[in-house]
Amino acid sequence: MLKYLIEGGNKLNGEVKISGSKNASLPILAASILNPNPVTFYNVPDIEDVNTTLKILKILGCKVTRKCDKITISCKKVNSYEIPKELMNKSRSTVILAGAIIGRLNQVTFSNPGGCNIGKRPIDLHLEAFQKMGITVIKGLNEVKCYSLVGVKGAKIILKFPSVGATENIILASVYASGTTYIYNAAMEPEIVDLAKCLNSMGANIKGAGTSKIIIRGVNKLHSCSYTVMPDRIETGTFLCIAMATKSKLHLKNVNANDLLSVILKLQEMGAKIAIKDNEIFINASSEKIKAINIITKPYPGFPTDMQPIFASLLTKASGKSKIEETIFENRFGFCDELRKMNAKIVKNGNSIQITGVRELTPSRVKCLDLRAGAALVLAALSTTGVTEIDNVEHILRGYENLDEKLRKIGANIKLISD
């Protein structure tokens, strides 16, 4: 077990280089399965979710080489259509490998991903879309088998909800499909645009990514490519919130501010001074009081659910009452119990919480329940005088690259230790 020991209260100052996006890297790595030629990706973060995906690719028969943020993958021959259960259980996002495997081999078997700490997370939309594409889906108690004897067919798919994972799985499954696939009510997240750009750079024919209607015309072959993964917008938002919570000045590099306008607007509403220049963001929160605000999470371009726990943590120190309504995941307030251990004043009511700001939180021993809940606790600890102990930091390592090292460089007192 890994834990952070954080002695909070320091003002932070300096530059942070934001890593490549976790949520874009995972479908892009999955896309390599479709391509029999070598592909090279840059700006891939060194995080556990990426490591898990790479382990699965190797088991499937892909050759993987990695040097810092550069990963080269060669999937000349894919030997297996089964996603190993023990690795699939490590990260739910591995479900998007299914679309790529079926796109390449016309069959895939994987374990039922099941629920997690933030909700039930069904995959019905993924599987209904596969069926529309002529794929037979057999759902067992623990396993899902998908196959098509005649190959994947283009289809018109209307998603009941703009699911990010379902949109990615459909795109991956339809790259080689016969005919054209239309996705209506598609997710519009920047990571979908990144996946489509990457696949198009291999020779796929995908139009409309970033809008609610995506059109994929099936192609016969893909070629080699080099592609640079987009910056991680949630890591960017996390550092902006940390600056605000610790009344600091930070300069974030390798970012794309356009991908996080809803987050920047909320921080400005809270009083942050933010300047944007090309791929850099400067935040100066050194003399700001944090104003209470209201937030409703929505699919992109709305306020991202992944930032919700981190904003909730920040708002525990705002002056006045804030309200957050969570509309994407049904169980994403578990972290509030941990923040209450630090004397945060949070009341839950259905899918909303009301937060009454307090002057100071109290250091305590708390534990991460999931990735973003963990980041919320790091923020709380950094802004609280005294030593906070955060258990189960493995969740954070799934999605933030060298978080402790990046924080130490800007003046935080944080240690990663094993229990």
Q: How far apart are CA 114 and CA 123, in angstroms?
A: 9
Window 70-109: contact mask with ligand UD1 (x via CB under 6 A):
-----------------------x----------------
Angle, helix 22-31 to helix 164-174, in steps of 10 degrees? 20
| Using rule CB under 6 A, residue 21 touches ligand UD1 | no
Q: How far apart are CA 304 and CA 320, in angstroms?
A: 23
Residue nearer to ligand UD1 on the CB measure, 165 or 357:
165
Interface positions, 260-319, toward ligand UD1 (CB under 6 A)? 305-306
Six-digit token pair at 406?
């990046």
Residue nearer to ligand UD1 on the CB measure, 26 or 54:
26
Q: How far is the CB of 95 from ligand UD1 (least distance, A)?
A: 8
Closest CA to 99 of 36, 45, 172, 164: 172
Residue nearer to ligand UD1 on the CB measure, 116 or 358:
116
Query: For the chain, how many residues are written?
Result: 419
Does residue 225 carry a catalytic annotation? no
Indicate the SS3 state at residue 173. helix
Q: How far apart are CA 214 and CA 236, in angstroms?
A: 27
Which of 3, 90, 104, 126 binds ligand UD1 (CB under 6 A)? It is 126
| Using rule CB under 6 A, residue 121 touches ligand UD1 | yes
With beta carbons less than 8 A apart as the criterion, state whether 327 and 351 touch.
Answer: yes
Which of 84, 119, 271, 302 binds ligand UD1 (CB under 6 A)? It is 119
With beta carbons less than 8 A apart as the criterion, state whether 30 and 229 touch.
Answer: no
Q: How far is the CB of 163 from ligand UD1 (least distance, A)?
A: 3
Q: How far apart are CA 173 and CA 211, in angstroms?
A: 19
Q: Which of 62, 116, 198, 368 is catalytic?
A: 116
All residues at 6 or more sequence positions from 64 whose CB lies less than 8 Å from its CB, including other chains? 54, 57, 58, 71, 72, 73
| Using rule CB under 6 A, residue 328 touches ligand UD1 | yes
Compute the Cα dihedral for 404, 407, 408, 413 and give only its sign. Answer: negative
Which of 161, 207, 286, 365 binds ligand UD1 (CB under 6 A)? It is 161
Torsion (CA) 299, 398, 92, 106 in degrees, nearest 10: 100
Residue nearer to ligand UD1 on the CB measure, 308 or 364:
308
Residue nearer to ligand UD1 on the CB measure, 8 or 113:
113
Window 178-207: contact mask with ligand UD1 (x via CB under 6 A):
---------x---x----------------
Contact residues for ligand UD1 (CB under 6 A)? 23, 26, 93, 119-126, 161, 163-166, 187, 191, 305-306, 328-329
